[in-house]
């Protein structure tokens, strides 16, 4: 009776005491794009403020984010040589492997994660082996597992399979264990939707499918139960953490994940949602910083334990 919610909003001190959710510097994982070469730092036109690095400039960037207090990075390898056997992806001296080795040598405690998918390496841009225009599930598993083992050998703390092949987590866990990488973890892109919000990323990674689309392996945006099934399978196959991707249009799925599974829940604040905010802010239509923080907080509030975001640096600067 006579409950007045505004009593709890009376002053900034009271509001801060009553805050239910907060962002901290340990919430963020920062994605990084790396390619062969030297002295490269090219801005991705559809993702202002994000760059493609060569290993040397990547290390300079890692120094910046390390000093800001970011605890984890997610490495994406880019390839100029498109080859459907993905030799480069499996090469222990490949660009991702080189980056991981150099980062771990200089910053041993920084958590280094690597994306495990072949779409940036294949000529057709699909996430697996193609046969008769169809992405072959089981034929792709060996590639993904080999890639993951190679990343582990380089020193990756977590490998993050994003190809959406059935049994990819089991295949990778088996590969890692057989090769003695029992402490290398798996962050599974479990509920990865067939989303149009990946557009700018595909620009960045030059990884757009050259025919067809990814609807036969990524999930239908209409579905919830399917996400729960995917997450359940991945946890049972040995995923240490599971991911919901994209985060923003799938906050309900993040909530389901947090309530349904006893592993850390990671949410990917994908490229399209980064670029939308950047573009609108450039027009002067929205306040970039305020919208960014509100968006990240909503992902946390929904139930994410960690957020992969291109905004990680900007957000931490705000928190500091």
Cross-strand pairs, 182? none
Query: Is the Cβ of residue 209 or residue 260 nearer to ligand PBG in the bound state?
Result: 209
- Tell me if residue 197 falls in helix, strand or coil: helix
How many whole angstroms separate alpha carbon 90 and alpha carbon 142? 11
Question: Out of 65, 127, 239, 254, which residue is the one contacting ligand PBG (CB under 6 A)?
Answer: 127
88 touches ligand PBG by CB under 6 A? no
271 touches ligand PBG by CB under 6 A? yes
Task: For residue 216, give the DSSP letter.
Answer: T
How many whole angstroms separate alpha carbon 77 and alpha carbon 99? 9
Residue showing tokens 């987590």: 169
User: Considering the complex, what minimum distance in angstroms separates the CB of residue 109 from ligand PBG?
Assistant: 25
162 touches ligand PBG by CB under 6 A? yes
301 touches ligand PBG by CB under 6 A? no
User: Considering the complex, what minimum distance in angstroms separates the CB of residue 87 from ligand PBG?
Assistant: 19
Residue showing tokens 């660009």: 95
Query: Is the Cβ of residue 117 or residue 265 nearer to ligand PBG in the bound state?
Result: 117
Which residues are designated catalytic?
Answer: 192, 245
Q: Where are the beta strands (DSSP E) in 193-275?
A: 241-245, 265-269
114 touches ligand PBG by CB under 6 A? no
Q: Taking Cα atoms as reference points, which of 74, 75, 71, 76 lies closest to residue 27?
A: 71
Query: Is the Cβ of residue 21 or residue 45 nearer to ligand PBG in the bound state?
Result: 45
How many whole angstroms separate alpha carbon 81 and alpha carbon 98? 17
Q: Report whether 163 contacts 138 (CB < 8 A).
A: no
Question: Out of 104, 202, 229, 255, which residue is the one contacting ligand PBG (CB under 6 A)?
Answer: 202
Question: Out of 115, 230, 237, 256, which residue is the one contacting ligand PBG (CB under 6 A)?
Answer: 115
User: Considering the complex, what minimum distance in angstroms separates the CB of residue 295 from ligand PBG?
Assistant: 14
Query: Is the Cβ of residue 179 or residue 313 nearer to ligand PBG in the bound state?
Result: 313
Listed ranges 19-27, 49-57, 115-123, 286-294: which one lies at the site for ligand PBG (CB under 6 A) = 115-123
Query: Is the Cβ of residue 137 or residue 179 nearer to ligand PBG in the bound state?
Result: 137
User: Considering the complex, what minimum distance in angstroms separates the CB of residue 119 from ligand PBG?
Assistant: 5
Question: How far, in whole angstroms, is CA 256 from its chain's centroid?
Answer: 19
117 touches ligand PBG by CB under 6 A? yes
Question: Out of 28, 33, 193, 201, which residue is the one contacting ligand PBG (CB under 6 A)?
Answer: 201
Listed ranges 93-101, 198-206, 235-243, 252-260: which one lies at the site for ligand PBG (CB under 6 A) = 198-206
What's the CA angle centered on 197, arms 139 and 202, to 5 degrees? 55
251 touches ligand PBG by CB under 6 A? no
Query: Is the Cβ of residue 20 or residue 314 nearer to ligand PBG in the bound state?
Result: 314
Residue showing tokens 């928190």: 319
What's the CA angle centered on 139, arms 185 and 131, to 5 degrees? 140
Cross-strand pairs, 130? 135
**Helix or strand run (H / E) with residue 53:** strand 51-53
Q: Report whether 295 contacts 274 (CB < 8 A).
A: no
Compose the 132-161 pattern: x for residues touching ligand PBG by CB under 6 A, - for all others.
------------------------------
Residue showing tokens 């990884």: 207
Query: Is the Cβ of residue 58 or residue 119 nearer to ligand PBG in the bound state?
Result: 119
Token pair, residue 259, equals: 């309530």
Sites of contact with ligand PBG (CB under 6 A): 115, 117, 119, 127, 162, 198, 201-202, 270-271
């Amino acid at each position: 009776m006579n409950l007045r919610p505004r009593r709890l909003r009376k002053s900034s001190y009271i509001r801060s005491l009553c805050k239910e959710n907060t962002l901290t510097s340990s919430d963020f994982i920062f994605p990084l794009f790396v390619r062969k070469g030297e002295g490269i730092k090219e801005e991705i036109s559809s993702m202002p403020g994000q760059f493609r690095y060569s290993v040397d400039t990547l290390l300079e960037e890692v120094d910046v984010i390390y000093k800001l207090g970011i605890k984890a990075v997610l490495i994406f390898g880019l390839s100029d040589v498109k080859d459907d056997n993905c030799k480069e992806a499996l090469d222990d001296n490949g660009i991702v492997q080189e980056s991981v080795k150099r980062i771990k040598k200089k910053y041993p405690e920084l958590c280094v994660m690597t994306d495990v998918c072949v779409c940036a390496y294949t000529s057709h841009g699909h996430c697996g082996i193609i046969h008769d225009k169809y992405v072959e599930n089981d034929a792709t598993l060996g590639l993904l597992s080999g890639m993951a083992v190679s990343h582990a050998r380089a020193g990756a703390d977590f490998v993050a399979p994003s190809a959406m092949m059935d049994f990819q987590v089991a295949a990778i866990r088996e590969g890692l264990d057989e090769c003695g990488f029992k402490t290398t973890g798996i962050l599974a892109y479990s509920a990865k939707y067939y989303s149009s919000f990946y557009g700018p990323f595909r620009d960045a990674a030059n990884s757009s499918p050259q025919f067809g689309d990814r609807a036969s392996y990524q999930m239908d945006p209409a579905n919830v139960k399917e996400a729960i099934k995917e997450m359940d399978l991945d946890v049972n196959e040995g995923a240490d953490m599971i991911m919901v991707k994209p985060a923003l249009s799938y906050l309900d799925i993040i909530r389901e994940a947090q309530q349904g599974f006893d592993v850390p829940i990671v949410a990917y604040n994908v490229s399209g949602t980064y670029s939308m905010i950047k573009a609108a802010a450039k027009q002067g239509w929205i306040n970039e910083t305020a919208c960014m923080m509100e968006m990240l907080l909503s992902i946390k509030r929904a139930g994410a334990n960690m957020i992969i975001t291109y905004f990680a640096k900007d957000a931490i600067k705000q928190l500091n």
